[in-house]
Structure 1
């Protein structure tokens, strides 16, 4: 599939069915956005999901192994593990998952011939009736439910390869857990359907922690669980799907329509720049050994990490300079950082970065402890702040350096403050 330019390209939803997107379960919306980023209409997406589901039922093992291989990279997957996961089915006789997407995602008309096929297991979808959107939820759910079980033979196999380097093993473990977590999130077998209650959500997060302890080091668990939390919650915030959100924190109907009108790619950006409401802060997991993990109850909190984020453009990274970004972004960021950042006394271990968002437009970045080895993460932070400014997260008054109602700070003084905190 062709990549979409985040800055200039927006995929428009079909105007006749875009309101139906709000009727989708939030987990399915996230799965759709994470899997297919350049779809020209929701109708094409639904048709593609239907066809993939039909083919998946006929050759689910081979398709799952293909997905797993794509997640990890063919160079890092032992052939024995792939064959075991695929139940040794002849791959050359069955199209792969990627082939389904490539052939049918961009040309939904070619799927019409399959709708009346006598081999169809499920009734065909209506490509014009928005009420049949629940069928899409069923198909996507079926695919994700069935995919999980093929991860276990792969996990057992890669660990027995003595020639695999440490870097390769880390990459494989990350990909395996990512895929397992991804599939696990979108099943409905453990009460994941709306509305969620605090007790069930907290138990689900704790179970996710227990699953990943044998895959990742302890300092990575917190990052992964927060990403999992983000996937399951933030789209509900953006699309007004969470019944637990207080009314004064819900994004209005006009804002929702604006998000939908910009297309799927823009909604993905909203996820990347997501807000977590106050009522959900208590559900965020707390790392073992860090009972005082600071989560500001007065502001919206989003756990920022470079894990699973896209690579920044060339030049962004360890050598990033604050002066490379717009003055408005620097001013708003630095004012709010010095006003709101809090540093606990304990050493939180991993390099957690917090992005504080107040009413969707006030930004500040703080962290529990600076370390010499991970100071480069600020490059990602500033890169995202510039991207948020282009998306309109900053209001005009918020980003105006001449606004005397906001705290004025000197850029060089603020940088010295950051460096001094890092070397504490």
Structure 2
């Protein structure tokens, strides 16, 4: 006897299609819209009947009006890959973004809408964490910290979205990458220096957040040890490795920093691991202009300011970011206008993110002349994970893991615990020697080539040191 379906009509079926569409239009994220459409066939039919209208309404609910140009730039850059990412295409996207063209959601495809909508809660997470961390680093510890204002929240959100747009436009690819100088010309120079410093604040924060997760994998994974991936910020190319890690974008960074287990962190970071010179770090270094070298900002006349300092691309009625940037850099020359090492402390405080009222009343800034804080004031702020005692331990870790890798071992390792290393099913020595290296993603190749060069120079330097020691005996 044939089974009869036990599925009953959904509660929305008696409603007119227009009413069902109106219900769907109340959602404020695409994931909920898709779940509701999948759970109830009558709602699914209502969505299918007019997808562009429903999707546009949901996206308007999800994205504040002041962030619509950011949303449009995210949508335009979402599908860029190594083939479609040309100077002409990037220029078109950036120009539209600087002109603050709003989003036309009716032309968006569902995957694009899903991506931008899904990014919104990730950005909210980072806004709250960034603001909390930055405000905890104030030097005036007696002042009450006021909740961040709507204008401050919008400013920080724009900076995080701008970082994501930058990732979409310039994420390193093995075969096709736009070099740092091109990135600077196409993107960085379209913004005022205080707007770029906002991007720098976000960049430093994201590197700080992802470093513990990255170092955890680099210190314990067999394969990462085989390829000498550093897990000590003191290593000569650690910054470039962290730079590539954050190029994965906000969603991947969020997954890595909120992961509860080693396996979850590995899943996010290992499949996309790579190394490259041409991303945001190299571009910011390129921005240390040598024009007007040695001449302080306070000596600039209006003609020089107009020539060397880009006007703001973003509407911001509060003068706080502009005023604090001019105040801090008054005695600096142009090579320190963007991403100066001496202003790392200020970037960690998000100095260009705040309204002028907070800068004056809470931070006690903008009066008199700016002076760099003493070194002892900076040291307590450096709360990065404890570094390895010395680089020799890291080199020894690489050597030991390389031997295990050659024997076919994979997985998690530590110098005191090798019980989690996984070997092939047959474990005799002959089979282990026959184990071949698995193919690696293209993004690994620049790092491997660099490490080969470095390893050779290290060996030569070590040989030289040993010879000098022998001659002294």
TM-score (norm 1): 0.31
Larger Rg: 2
- Give the number of the structure whose residues are more often helix, by fraction: 2
